[in-house]
Structure 1
């Protein structure tokens, strides 16, 4: 979807920022709706269909995390969710599991906001076509049970922007990986370049965001980004 065709809901308790973001987005031709906290945003979501949500995190009445958690609990599908905040205390693993695609720090530029929004509004079929100019220095190769057996459980899950899986390997957040996942007895192989978004060494789990999918696996991976998988950006397995 093009930004000019989208309906965007902006949520922030600071009137000046709410107005600035609205003006920035309005210049791009999209329809902009505004809410001063999560409770007001929920009223808007119950009445109108939106294509993207841009929300502050710390707000009175209902904060950003509670807002996206409520959206998830009600089974509402918001195709794109972006957090904008001056605080870095958000749980990345929970935010991505609740559907948040990007977390942008304040202050930020109009260019940064629009780029994140345009990327998040793209159809899955438009994404992950271009490999990184410099191949990742780190690699991870996994062999898991048959896909239909492990997808959706603690071994492996796909979201609309990445996947999580069980592994004893440990990498720092933002590490770039060449990721290969084979499934026992099946021809399909996940061949991707990805960025580590969280790594839980205690539970032996890792969540990654796709940056590139090899042509041989792209259609197969995207075909599983439906139903429940569309409600989460990177699952919390």
Structure 2
């Protein structure tokens, strides 16, 4: 299920033994090795002493919860390993979790098919994660030229994380789950263009007169964009998967 002959190592964190074992069994069935922890403190110790390829963690746990664990982990391991929350989404807003450095989500009870898709995606090298067009066509296209650099602090309409972007462009109206194609060009700086496709994973509605805000998760980056974007990621460590704005 992965690109390497060596089995990848997944840390599974949950305080409920039955659910923990169910996730471990499925992870092992999919061809991964696994280790476990039952709270955030144990999990952080495992993360510091083991070479992990991915983490799957519950949020609500005694003796330091999953939110604490992610915050502590990202102080030293800012973008790797990928971190997946198991949650009913009432525990923590998806907007906040992406900004904290979470890479994905699994609901409870466990859906094995979704787990397999997520593992296959997040355990791929970033060079291969965004190089295949999604099977679903985009329902909207956004194209805009900005007179500044992509990371200019005065640019409030978009903001980039390591695997997605914040959008607050006037008159845009999307819904969660919409597939969007985009092409943004920048007149200054060394990163001139980003083009690809993604899906809307969160939405914040604002009063009339102020643009609604969206979180877009990258599914695909065009070949003209991919290498330059990966170089950007390698040149600086970014915690936020999708930021909340500037």
- The answer, yes or no, to whether TM exceeds 0.5 is yes
Q: Match of 2:87?
A: 85
Give the conservation status (yes or no) of the 8 Å contact 1:150–1:156.
no
Aligned to 1:206: 214
Name stretches of at least 5 consecutive residues in structure 1 with no aligned partner. none
* Contact residue 157 and residue 163 of structure 1 kept, 8 A: yes
TM-score (norm 2): 0.83
Q: Distance in 2 between matches of 1:185 and 1:76?
A: 28
1:35 counterpart (11, 17, 37): 37
Distance 2:188 2:54 in 1: 39
Counterpart residue number, 1:174: 177
Match of 1:208, SS state, is strand
Structure 1 stretch displaced more, 133-142 or 53-62 = 133-142
| Pairs aligned (count) | 236
> Which of residues 44, 48, 56 in structure 2 aligns to 1:54?
56
Correspondence list, 1:128-167, <5 A: 128-147=130-149, 149-150=151-152, 154=156, 156-167=158-169
**Cα deviation, residue 185, structure 1:** 4.6
Structure 2 CA distance for partners of 1:236 and 1:16, relative to 1, 3 Å: same
Shift of 1:119: 0.8
- On the 8 A contact 1:196/1:209 being kept in 2, the answer is yes
Change over 3 Å in CA distance of 1:138–1:51 after alignment to 2: same
Whether the 8 Å contact between 1:71 and 1:77 is mirrored in structure 2 is: no
Q: Secondary structure at the match of 2:183?
A: strand
Decide which of 183, 186, 189 is 1:183's aligned counterpart. 186
Give the TM-score taking structure 1 as reference length: 0.85
Cα drift, residue 183 of structure 1: 0.8
Summarize the Cα distance change of 1:74–1:125 in structure 2 as closer, same or farther, 3 Å threshold.
Answer: closer
Query: Which deviates further from its counterpart, 77-86 or 52-61?
Result: 77-86
